[in-house]
Amino acid sequence: MPHKVSLSRLKLTDFRNYAAAALALDGRHAVLTGDNGAGKTNLMEAVSLLSPGRGLRRAAYGDITRVGAAGGFSIFAALDGMEGDVEIGTGIETGEETTARKLRINGTTAKTADELTDHLRLLWLTPAMDGLFTGASSDRRRFLDRLVLSLDPAHGRRASDFERAMRSRNKLLDEGRFDPSWLAGIEEQMASLGIAMALARQEMLGLLTRLIEETRETSPFPSASLQLSGFMDGQFSRPSVDLEDDYAAMLAESRYRDAGAGRTLEGPHRADLIVHHREKAMEAERCSTGEQKALLVGLVLAHARLVGNLTGHAPILLLDEIAAHLDEGRRAALFDLIDGLGGQAFMTGTDRAMFSALGDKAQFFTVADGRVFE
Ligand SMILES: Nc1ncnc2c1ncn2[C@@H]1O[C@H](COP(=O)(O)OP(=O)(O)OP(=O)(O)O)[C@@H](O)[C@H]1O
């Protein structure tokens, strides 16, 4: 069983609809119940900001700050983390527009948000993700990259460096500056970063596929088969240097075409995650709403197990309204599965009775009008 990472304290100031709130957690799962609009998802969002990036809503920091607050927002958390006890503080200081948030770990300013992954790994599942299989491929790519990131923290840097290189190539092409040596330099960089990104995604999917295979018999959820498509399809068994050379050559050949299109048409930024419902041998997008939800829950929980197995520490799970449409038996099976992962899960719902099968495995909180109490 992986080690448990658990939040022991969470304090919010001027965060969404919370002027000030504090939660004392005892290491068990946390169930947050309350009416619509009470502030349950806001609490989950606050926890999600303990990982790199803009949290589970991908919101602008200015929007997170409580309407009417004099300054910015802040989040403080204490946890029993992957390297022992740690205190994390994050937020923005003034209400003005900013793209960066301050981050302090044990009182010291962190150089990058990636340092958070030394202390905890977070995974979430929200109702906003229900359309993942039918929606835009960019959402599936972001989902895929978050899965990779929770195993391989360097993936985020790779992806942002690739984006930056691609933007400078697009700009040169857009301005008609076809300087071959300048472009070749950028394309070489794109090739090494782009292939590294694609290989990291491929490796994670391979590991996840194996784990899904191993746990298939016992899982109460349908199993997913996973494939990458849209970039270097079927070529990932070749040496990475050959793939890099091929991609660099592809970019060099497509300069005029890409200039015409106004963007780079080939690359890891065009890849898609293709998911099938294995038992039904059906594309996920053609499954029923309930089947899609079950597939997604199964996939995220399988990934949580993988993160626990590979890092030795179970991730913290944020499961927003996960039990809403399940019957009693399925809910109980779901809670058993979540508990069996060995980590701390935060779960929300409108009705406390829905979580009764958790018994004393969870701490129950009531959320009402921007206040939270046990
Ligand atoms: N920056 C902000 N300042 C003040 N209030 C905000 C801010 N952003 C969002 N809110 C409010 O926070 C409230 C609670 O939102 P939240 O999504 O957490 O509700 P919830 O309890 O998860 O509800 P539901 O059960 O409907 O999903 C909403 O009424 C929203 O208007």
Ligand 1 pocket check for 42: Cβ under 6 Å: yes
Q: 64 CA to middle of ligand 1, Å?
A: 10
Q: Which of 118, 110, 63 is nearest to 89 (CA)?
A: 110
What Å distances lie between residue 4 and 151, 155, 201, 338, 354, CA to CA? 16, 24, 26, 13, 25
Q: 102 CA to middle of ligand 1, Å?
A: 23
Q: What is the pLDDT, as a whole number, of residue 286? A: 96
Q: 216 CA to middle of ligand 1, Å?
A: 37
Could you tell me the residue ranges of all domains in the chain? 1-124+316-373
Ligand 1 pocket check for 95: Cβ under 6 Å: no
Q: What is the pLDDT, as a whole number, of residue 323? A: 87
∠ CA 313-223-282, rounded to 5°: 145
Q: Is a pLDDT exceeding 80 seen at residue 199? A: yes
Q: What is the pLDDT, as a whole number, of residue 95? A: 64
Please return the burial class of 97, using the count of CB atoms within 10 Å of its CB with bins 0-12, 13-18 and 19+: exposed
Q: What is the pLDDT, as a whole number, of residue 236? A: 92
If you average pLDDT over residues 11-16, what whole number do you get? Answer: 97
Ligand 1 pocket check for 305: Cβ under 6 Å: no
Q: Which atom of ligand 1 sits closest to the CA of residue 35?
A: 25
If you average pLDDT over residues 253-273, what whole number do you get? Answer: 97
What are the residues whose beta carbons fall under 8 Å from the beta carbon of 268, sequence distance 6 or more?
A: 162, 194, 195, 197, 198, 201, 231
Q: Residue 313, by phi and psi: left (phi above 0), alpha (psi -120 to 50) or beta?
A: beta
Supply the ipTM of this predicted assembly.
0.98
In whole angstroms, give the CA distance from residue 214 to residue 349: 31
Q: What is the pLDDT, as a whole number, of residue 256? A: 96
Ligand 1 pocket check for 37: Cβ under 6 Å: yes
In whole angstroms, give the CA distance from residue 169 to residue 116: 32
Q: Whose CA is nearest to atom 7 of ligand 1?
A: 16
Counting ligand 1 atoms within 8 A of each CB, the residue from 14, 18, 40 with the most, and so the one to mutate, is 40
Give the residue ranges of DSSP H helices in the chain. Answer: 40-48, 61-64, 137-149, 154-174, 180-215, 240-253, 255-261, 289-311, 328-340
Helix (H, G, I), strand (E, B) or coil at 273: strand
Greater confidence (18 vs 221) lies with 18
Q: Which of 223, 195, 196 is nearest to 303 (CA)?
A: 223
What are the residues whose beta carbons fall under 8 Å from the beta carbon of 223, sequence distance 6 or more?
A: 212, 213, 216, 278, 279, 298
Question: What is the bridge-based pairing of β-strands 362-368 and 371-373?
Answer: antiparallel
Mean pLDDT for the chain?
A: 95
Q: What is the pLDDT, as a whole number, of residue 219? A: 86
Q: Residue 166, by phi and psi: left (phi above 0), alpha (psi -120 to 50) or beta?
A: alpha
Q: Is a pLDDT exceeding 90 seen at residue 285? A: yes
Ligand 1 pocket check for 40: Cβ under 6 Å: yes
Give percent of the chain with pLDDT exceeding 70: 99
Number of C-beta neighbours around residue 353 at 10 A: 8
Give percent of the chain with pLDDT exceeding 90: 92
The answer on whether 311 is annotated among ligand-binding residues is no
The answer on whether 106 is annotated among ligand-binding residues is no
User: Would you state the structure tokens that stand for residue 52, as one six-digit string?
Assistant: 């790199």
Ligand 1 pocket check for 41: Cβ under 6 Å: yes
The answer on whether 89 is annotated among ligand-binding residues is no
Report pLDDT digits (tens) over 139-192: 999 999 999 999 999 999 999 999 999 999 999 999 999 999 999 999 999 999
pLDDT band at 328 (very low <50, low <70, confident <90, very high): confident
**CATH architecture for segment(s) 1-124+316-373:** 3-Layer(aba) Sandwich (3.40)
Q: What is the pLDDT, as a whole number, of residue 96? A: 67
Ligand 1 pocket check for 67: Cβ under 6 Å: yes
Ligand 1 pocket check for 366: Cβ under 6 Å: no
What Å distances lie between residue 111 and 105, 108, 266, CA to CA? 10, 9, 33
Ligand 1 pocket check for 153: Cβ under 6 Å: no
Q: Is a pLDDT exceeding 90 seen at residue 324? A: no
If you average pLDDT over residues 32-41, what whole number do you get? Answer: 96
Q: Is a pLDDT exceeding 70 seen at residue 229? A: yes
Q: 34 CA to middle of ligand 1, Å?
A: 12
Q: What is the pLDDT, as a whole number, of residue 349? A: 95
